[in-house]
Amino acid sequence: MPSLAEYRKKIQGVKSTRQITKAMKMVSGARFARAQRQATEAKKFLSEVEKALRVACSQRMMARNILPFFRPQAPAENIGLVVMTSDKGLCGSFNSNVIKESERCIAGAKNSHITLFTVGSKAVKYYRRRTIPIEKAYEGIFNHLTFADAELMSKDIMKAFAEKGLSRLMVIRTAFRNVIKQEVVRDVLLPIELPAAAADNKQYRDDYLFEPGVEELMTSLVPFYLKSRLYQMLRESYQAELAARMTAMDNATRNATELIDTITLEMNKLRQSIITRELIEIIGTNEVVK
């Protein structure tokens, strides 16, 4: 049985851990407010870019170098996969859920050739131990995430989609629902899928004047749309990561408090038994002396 000194040492250790988890929860909470605002702004920006793309698509005129991004270029045996995790841990099952979903996706495409892109240190470290080669790895981008990071990723992805003749390219990431709930989703990034209404001139005006022209506009607009969509995905993934870390650290803090109470109760029981034993010894000695 542990001594009183050992119990006190355990309690002190758990209290130190509780202070760390509590501080991490507060830091994540402060960062979450900013990340939520940035994710909302990125979503609104993407919505406007998507509207512009729909209007341009309604003109039914596209440059030949842009058409491949709107239709599959190869059979389903050739797919691309972007696995989006975090750079840090201590966020519950956030990373493991994404990796498990990516494994299910790969297992479901047994005869397919996978072109893999990894975002976040956790995905990079996991897939470096696997037999699937990583086409491109992006680490350490979430703390200072900018539109330039999404631009770099989109260039690499578009190049791989065109040169390797991918049938589709999917992004496996965590979508933010609320502070308590985050959901792992599969998004098809390429080929670009727009609602059927995008090709319906009745839904969109066809009397716009494009300068220098629709084809030239699409050549710039499609890459910009992909950058914007990737940026929105990265922002939402980071928002979900912070929410998951807040929940995980809150649970860890509560568990530490419960553990301190349990250890304190055991220590008090031991101390009570020691006091009782000493009293019995004193009474017994007194009776002998008499």
Give residue-wise pLDDT tens across range 45-98.
999 888 888 877 766 555 555 667 777 655 667 889 999 999 988 898 999 999
Structural domains in the chain plus CATH codes: 4-18+249-289 (1.10.287), 22-194+206-248 (3.40.1380.10)
User: What's the predicted TM-score (pTM) here?
Assistant: 0.84
Residue 209's pLDDT band (cuts 50, 70, 90): low
% of the chain surpassing 90 pLDDT: 47
Q: Mean pLDDT of all residues in the chain? A: 85
- Residue 288 tokens read as 């002998």
Q: Does the pLDDT value for residue 153 go beyond 80? A: yes
Q: How far apart are the first and last CA of the chain?
A: 35
Sign of the dihedral defined by the CA atoms of residues 103, 105, 111, 116, in that order: negative
Per-residue model confidence (pLDDT) at position 215: 72
Residue 206's pLDDT band (cuts 50, 70, 90): low
Per-residue model confidence (pLDDT) at position 123: 92
Q: Does the pLDDT value for residue 231 go beyond 90? A: yes
User: Which of the residue ranges 17-31, 67-81, 102-116, 238-252 would you say has the lowest mean pLDDT?
Assistant: 67-81
| Mean pLDDT to the nearest integer, 138-143 | 89
DSSP character string of 124-181: HHHHTTSSSPEEEEE-S-STT--HHHHHHHHHHHHHHHHHTT-SEEEEEEEEE-SSS-
User: Which of the residue ranges 177-186, 189-198, 216-225 would you say has the lowest mean pLDDT?
Assistant: 189-198
d(CA 28, CA 35): 10
Q: Does the pLDDT value for residue 192 go beyond 80? A: yes
| Mean pLDDT to the nearest integer, 205-232 | 78
Could you read off the pLDDT of 112-138 as tens digits, one per residue? Answer: 788 999 999 999 999 998 888 899 999
Q: Does the pLDDT value for residue 281 go beyond 70? A: yes
Q: 51 or 245, which is more confident?
A: 245
Which amino acid makes up residue 13? Answer: G
Residue 248: half-sphere exposure toward Cβ, Cα within 13 Å: 18
Strands 168-176 vs 182-190: parallel, antiparallel or unpaired: antiparallel
Per-residue b or e along 233-263, where b marks 16 or more CB atoms closer than 10 Å to that residue's CB: bbbbbbbbbbbbbbbbbbebbeebeebbeeb
Per-residue model confidence (pLDDT) at position 197: 45
d(CA 129, CA 117): 15
Which amino acid makes up residue 36? Answer: Q
Is the separation of the CB atoms in 87 and 164 below 8 Å?
Answer: no
Cα Rg of the chain (Å, integer): 28
Q: Does the pLDDT value for residue 159 go beyond 70? A: yes
Report which of 229, 221, 225 is spatially closest to residue 56, judged by C-alpha positions: 221
d(CA 237, CA 85): 8
Per-residue model confidence (pLDDT) at position 167: 84
